[in-house]
Amino acid sequence: MNRFLIFILGLLLGLFTQALWAHEGEDHGPPALVNARPLLPRVTAHSELFELVGVLEPGRLLIWLDATPSNAPVTGASVEVEGAGANGKAAEVAPGVYELKLPKAPAPGQHPLTFTVQSADDADLLGAPLVVPQADAAAAATADALPRAAWTGPAVWAGAGAAAAAVVMAALGALRRRRPAATGH
């Protein structure tokens, strides 16, 4: 009887671990959340000479500037920003990274920005919109996503499998105790 119980337990555990394996074409729930915080507002612009990415952080706009042909950071450039109350010259804080201090954060909405870039050999004018979302909408989307992610995934299936195996083992144990002992006739 013990071998039968071990066989049944092994079979049940094997079935439940199958649910943990990923199979093509099956939905295993939403992907795990890596970062539950909303992304900071960004602006991107590019031309034949320069690629620019700006990230709006509290009190500043950080700008990464690369040369388009080589993707190398552009150092020692003059980067001026106009629009959305962000008028001024950005200071280089690291190779190819420029910072523009902001007196106040831009209001939610779409703000056109113009970047005047002058390096040793090249000059260009880049324009792109900075989209600042409503703070309440971003926070609500993040808060809504967290409870669903917490109750899906392999851990839930593993727990359900362990509970089912325990119930089956208890039922088999009860059946074993109810049967009369076999006599040696």
pLDDT tens digits, 106-162: 889 999 999 999 998 899 999 999 999 887 554 545 445 545 445 555 666 666 666
Token look-up 């804080």 returns: 93
Does residue 23 surpass a pLDDT of 70? Answer: no
pTM metric for this prediction: 0.56
Which residues in the chain are classed under CATH 2.60.40? Answer: 42-133
The CATH number assigned to the domain with range 42-133 reads: 2.60.40
Spell out a b/e string for 162-184, using b for 16 or more CB atoms within 10 Å of the CB, else e.
eeebeeeeeeeeeeeeeeeeeee
Does residue 18 surpass a pLDDT of 90? Answer: no
Q: Given pLDDT bands bounded at 50, 70 and 90, which one contains residue 86?
A: confident
